[in-house]
Amino acid sequence: GAVVSQHPSWVICKSGTSVKIECRSLDFQATTMFWYRQFPKQSLMLMATSNEGSKATYEQGVEKDKFLINHASLTLSTLTVTSAHPEDSSFYICSAPLAGAVGTDTQYFGPGTRLTVL
């Protein structure tokens, strides 16, 4: 099956610092990847769509200057949380869709990154 990895799995940082999270598709190419944020006991909220070779598209209410996304290759997307604050502490998960013979849209999720901002 399709495998998506994320790094790091957890990070603790001081307020005001920047944190970079990597999302990789290990055995397939992904022209599109999605970044989600999940607060405790809540659902996955889509933050942005990462597009290889073009700018990311952000959901309403997500600050593009704070959450920088770079889709550098067909297997790597990065999310940088700039000037992180305690309210940014959350579980960040990426996903990548796997296209199938009938244009399927099965999405495979990375293991997530637990960000704690002190």
Partner 1 sequence: GENVEQHPSTLSVQEGDSAVIKCTYSDSASNYFPWYKQELGKRPQLIIDIRSNVGEKKDQRIAVTLNKTAKHFSLHITETQPEDSAVYFCAALLSGSARQLTFGSGTQLTVLP
Question: Residue numbers of the site for partner 1 (CB under 8 A)?
Answer: 32, 34, 42-44, 46, 49, 57, 91, 93, 95, 97, 104-112, 114
Shortest separation between residue 81's beta carbon and partner 1, angstroms: 19
Backbone angles phi, psi at 88, to 5 degrees: -85, -10
Q: In one letter, which amino acid is 99?
A: A
Q: Which of 20, 22, 49 is nearest to 33 (CA)?
A: 49
Distance of CA 49 to the CA centre of its chain: 9
Residue (16 or 111) nearer to partner 1, CB:
111
Residue (17 or 106) nearer to partner 1, CB:
106
Per the CB < 8 A criterion, the answer to whether 75 and 96 are in contact is no
Shortest separation between residue 42's beta carbon and partner 1, angstroms: 8
Shortest separation between residue 113's beta carbon and partner 1, angstroms: 11
